[in-house]
Structure 1
Amino acid sequence: MQLTSFTDYGLRALIFLAALPAGERTSIQAVSDRFRIPKNHLIKIINKLAQLGYVTAVRGKNGGISLGMPAEHIIIGEVVRDLEPLQIVNCAESACHITAACRLKVQLAKAKDAFLQQLDECTIKDLLTDNDELLLLLTPV
């Protein structure tokens, strides 16, 4: 299973924001530059994350973006569910003539559930805790 770039970049942005000192904001441009993500694409992602409450976005001269909730409350599985389409195969009768008798879709659904269950055990904070190497990589040069 491969995540879309939308979800991938969304997770990267959350990790970046969680690495900021408490109360500090940054710009979408800073996240874009750090991960080499197209700014226009990242704007859409940050807007979605803000709608979902994961990010707080403040406009204006002293504005910027920051986490919208504590990093320990941001569960990776929930973020993936919120951002990712999660349809592994198209099992509509019109798309596949074996849908009525197919057992593969059941196995794929179980695999997807196991994947998400594993991600539900991890928060954004878990990714940063005792990870000085990651924190170093996120520090502006």
Structure 2
Amino acid sequence: MRITTFTDFSLRTLIYLASLPPDQMSSVQQVSRVYNVSQNHMVKVVGKLKKLGYIHAQRGKGGGISIAQAPEDINIGRVIAQMENHMDGVDCNAPACQLAPCCELRKALMVGMQAFIAAMENYTLADIMTNKEQFSPLLFINQPEGLDQEMTGLEDNQNVATNKNLD
């Protein structure tokens, strides 16, 4: 099972925010720089994570984004299921498949997808961050102002990610 880029960056955003010191906020711009993804795409990711209650987002001066739940309360399987738009494995109608009336592939793929989600439901954000102290330097957390951009070599106008697989 391969998750979409949208879901991948949703999980990465949660990891990033959970890696921050308590009560520290970040920004969409910062997260997009760290992961080298377009800010427009990250706005969509953050919007959905906020809508689902995983993060806080506050606009304006002094605003930013932060984790809204304890990492041990964020279930990875649930996040994946909520972020993925197409968990049916295959679309037998695009284009229409002449085998659809008798083929069992769709049912088999659904069983596989359900097993994948069930396996991922055994993990929380805390479980996949047991080495949290190692994340901070990799994510440029608590670095001097501007070092994150300098070290990643990114400029704002270089944050480009294609829109393929961004469901």
Displacement of 1:48: 0.9
The two structures, once aligned, show a CA RMSD in angstroms of: 1.7
Displacement of 1:125: 1.2
Which residue does the alignment assign to 1:136? 137
- The total of aligned residue pairs comes to 141
CA distance in 2, matches of 1:6, 1:30: 17
Q: Is 1:123 the equivalent of 2:124?
A: yes
SS at match of 2:101: helix
SS at match of 2:65: strand
Off by >6 Å, runs of 4+ in structure 1: none
1:93–1:99 Cα contact (<8 Å) kept: no
Identity of matched residues, %? 38
Which residue does the alignment assign to 2:7? 7
Q: Which has the higher contact order (CA 8 A, sep 6+)?
A: 2
Which residue does the alignment assign to 2:102? 101
1:55–1:65 Cα contact (<8 Å) kept: yes
Displacement of 1:87: 2.9
TM-score scaled by structure 1? 0.91
- Structure 1, unaligned stretches of length 5 or more? none
TM-score scaled by structure 2? 0.78
CA distance in 2, matches of 1:100, 1:13: 41
For 1:51-83, what per-residue CA distance to the aligned partner results, in whole angstroms no more than 9, with x for missing partners?
110110011111110012111111111111111
Which residue does the alignment assign to 1:91? 92
Which residue does the alignment assign to 2:54? 54
Displacement of 1:41: 0.6
